[in-house]
């Protein structure tokens, strides 16, 4: 298993294909498995780099607390260790948040930025938002990872024909280390780079599912704060876009990257 020492820990990573580097950053509670379909598609034209975040998959799982700057620093160390001078960076959910932080902390490493179903902050402004965060923490703490996966799978994959996706998601979620998962989740709570979005001057693609947790209007609002960004909305899809509507994701991302490569 290839691993690279970065920011004090060992990160599991994979490299497929050749060409301009294309770094994929997975979501909370997932791993490089998030990107199986994208690896197959994009490694034909790019050097695709995937890795397991701190606390996830086959990477080290040190005790918390974790911070978003720490998770971004892990990415920076990985890129530097692999000799990547500049990459197209794609992040999903938590990975999208880390991608935002990375573009601010190390803009020289980011050729383009693609953020999928993510926001530039997780700040609870209302009682409902505070309750949702508290409930996620409570469910994980009380019931563990498998039960949490079962609950989330029914929210993510609601169609009868998605039973296989529900089973796969639940099985993979159960493999998470509970304390590392909670540390990563807590890293997001209260984090915000909204006030610094104007600092990001590379080309940005914001991709959102029309039925994501966060409304399209929220994504449209923060897209306006970026100097060089466009928004693409994927219809009939929820949060797990890379596995639910991969062909539509591939079309949007390919069109963007071709223009910037």
| Domain around 92 | 3-122+192-260
CATH of the domain at 96: 3.40.50.1820
Q: How far apart are CA 219 and CA 138, in angstroms?
A: 27
- Is residue 219, in this structure, part of any structural domain at all? yes
Give domain status of residue 168, yes or no.
no
Tens of pLDDT along the chain (261 residues)? Answer: 799 999 999 999 999 999 999 999 999 999 999 899 999 999 999 999 999 999 999 999 999 999 999 999 999 999 999 999 999 999 999 999 999 999 999 999 999 999 999 999 998 888 888 888 888 888 889 889 999 999 999 999 999 999 999 999 999 999 999 999 999 999 999 999 999 999 999 999 999 999 999 999 999 999 999 999 999 999 999 999 999 999 999 999 999 999 987
- As a whole number of angstroms, the distance between CA 145 and CA 141 comes to 9
Torsion angle, CA of 68/72/74/78, rounded to 10 degrees? 160
Q: Is residue 87 part of a domain?
A: yes
Establish if 203 belongs to a structural domain: yes
The model carries a pTM of 0.96
Identify whether the C-beta of residue 232 lies closer than 8 Å to the C-beta of residue 226: no
| 27 located within any domain | yes
Domain count, the chain: 1
Distance of CA 112 to the CA centre of its chain: 15
Q: Is residue 133 part of a domain?
A: no
Answer whether residue 136 is part of any domain.
no
Q: Is 169 contained in some domain?
A: no
How many helices and strands (H and E) does the chain possess? Answer: 9, 8
């Amino acid at each position: 298993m290839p691993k690279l020492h970065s920011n004090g820990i060992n990160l599991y990573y994979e490299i497929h294909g050749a060409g301009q580097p294309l770094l994929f950053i997975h979501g909370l509670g997932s791993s490089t498995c998030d990107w199986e379909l994208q690896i197959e598609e994009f490694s034909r034209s790019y050097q695709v780099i995937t890795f397991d975040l701190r606390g996830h998959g086959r990477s080290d799982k040190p005790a918390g607390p974790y911070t978003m700057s720490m998770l971004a620093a892990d990415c920076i160390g990985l890129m530097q260790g692999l000799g990547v001078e500049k990459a197209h960076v794609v992040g999903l959910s938590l990975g999208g948040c880390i991608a935002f932080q990375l573009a601010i902390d190390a803009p020289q490493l980011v050729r383009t930025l693609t953020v999928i179903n993510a926001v530039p902050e997780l700040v609870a402004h209302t009682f409902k938002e505070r309750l949702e965060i508290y409930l996620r923490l409570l469910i994980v703490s009380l019931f563990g990872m498998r039960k949490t996966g079962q609950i989330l799978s029914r929210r993510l994959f609601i169609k009868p024909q998605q039973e296989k996706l529900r089973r796969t998601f639940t099985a993979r979620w159960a493999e998470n280390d509970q304390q590392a998962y909670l540390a990563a989740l807590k890293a997001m709570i209260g984090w915000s780079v909204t006030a610094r979005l104007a600092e990001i001057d590379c080309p940005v693609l914001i991709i959102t599912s029309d039925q994501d947790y966060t409304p399209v209007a929220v994504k449209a609002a923060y897209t306006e704060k970026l100097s060089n960004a466009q928004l693409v909305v994927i219809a009939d899809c929820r949060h797990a876009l890379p596995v639910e509507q991969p062909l539509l994701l591939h079309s949007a991302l390919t069109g963007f990257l071709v223009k910037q490569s």
